[in-house]
Amino acid sequence: MQSRKVILSGMQPTGGLHIGHLTGALKNWVELQNEYECYFTIVDLHAITIRQEPANLRRWTLDLAATFLACGIDPTRSHIFVQSHVPEHTQLAWVLNCFTGMGECSRMTQFKDKSQKYPENVNVGLFAYPILMAADILLYQADLVPVGADQKQHLELTRDLAQRFNSLYSETFKIPEPYIPKVGAKIMNLQNPTKKMSKSDENQSGVLFLVDEDNQIANKIKRAVTDSGAEIVFREDKPGISNLITLYHIATGKQIEEIENEFAGKGYGEFKKAVADAVVEFLRPFKVRYREIRANEEYLKLIIREGAEQARRVANKTLAKVYRKIGFVAL
């Protein structure tokens, strides 16, 4: 039997996750488990390219592991692990550093954006961020990498590095393909509906965190910025209402047209109340599971320990191959 194709994806433990992560990324990950051998990693090494408070980093790492599990990632089928627990990531990253041009990294738009956003800390790690990401992917010989559109450029670099190494030595790395989900609805910030909802946003009143209390969620939705006019229609010139329609669609499974009909002739107030109720109900089962799992740190650590052990078995093989090919002496 041919072995299953491999998926690898990662998320940074840099804050609480919001409803956009659930619908834009995690929901897809859960489905991919049925068909692929999946590695889902919490990339703490990437997180420190921006200054982090140690207590926050520690907490967010376990929060993220609990979120994966609460969303339905099944540790008996997929591998959940923390990047820093698998030293092969930094080891391969070093090797790949030596095969990457300065110009290739300085072209990356994420580097340019982040160095503008944090001008006081433009560090070498931030510059080399995509090389570490390439190591994450190539260690597991991943076929597919589910990412948002903003990460496509990093994936192109990963492919270039893999091809470069393969042609300089011999076939070593699988060339990965990006996997951009079909129509993972993009959720916008409730206070600024032309900007995507983002976990590191300073204005938290526009972000629906998965762990927000029911009344916080309801209040954030009720205070969401809406557009002029009174119609409840999904239209480009109505980003606020369109975003709320998307949320209602996600929470109820109803189609856009059906939603427009349901609220024809009704006011924004009534609509927002319906969206708030639906989103609160939609998130409830997740929150119950999350609280239960998060409270059991021993269990969480067991999952990530086993995940790291399984990951290391695979990562180690690839790294050994690389070391041999470049001429390091094996003992």
The footprint of ligand LTN (CB under 6 A) covers 8-12, 43, 46, 133, 136-137, 145, 147, 151
Nearest to 73 by CA among 47, 45, 36: 36
Cβ proximity of 169 and 325 under 8 Å: yes
> Which one, 86 or 155, has the nearer CB to ligand ATP?
155
- Give 182's DSSP letter: S
Residue range at the interface with ligand ATP (CB under 6 A); choices 32-40, 65-73, 156-164, 182-190? 182-190
- Residue pair 232/271 in contact (Cβ under 8 Å)? The answer is yes
Among residues 233, 241, 301, the alpha carbon closest in space to that of 275 is found at 241
CB of 299 to ligand ATP, least distance (A): 25
Q: What backbone phi and psi angles, to 5 degrees, belong to 34? A: -70, -30
**Residue 43: CB minimum distance to ligand LTN, A:** 4
Q: What is the H or E stretch that residue 10 is in?
A: strand 6-11
Stretch that binds ligand ATP, among 97-105, 168-176, 184-192, 226-234 (CB under 6 A): 184-192
Given ligand ATP, ligand LTN, none, residue 32, with its beta carbon under 5 to 8 Å by kind, binds none
Residues 205-264 that bind ligand ATP (CB under 6 A): none
Of 208, 232, 203, 228, residue with least CA distance to 220: 208
For 146, the 3-state DSSP assignment is strand
Which 6-45 residues touch ligand ATP, going by CB under 6 A? 11-12, 14-15, 20-21, 24-25
* 187's tokens: 């959720």
Select from ligand ATP, ligand LTN, none the partner in contact with residue 136, using the beta carbon and a kind-dependent cut-off of 5 to 8 Å.
Answer: ligand LTN
Closer Cβ to ligand ATP, 250 or 308, answer by number:
250
| Interaction between residue 196 and ligand ATP (CB under 6 A) | yes
Nearest to 160 by CA among 103, 108, 99, 110: 99
Q: Which residues of the shown chain bind ligand ATP in the complex (CB under 6 A)?
A: 11-12, 14-15, 20-21, 24-25, 147-148, 184, 186-187, 196-200
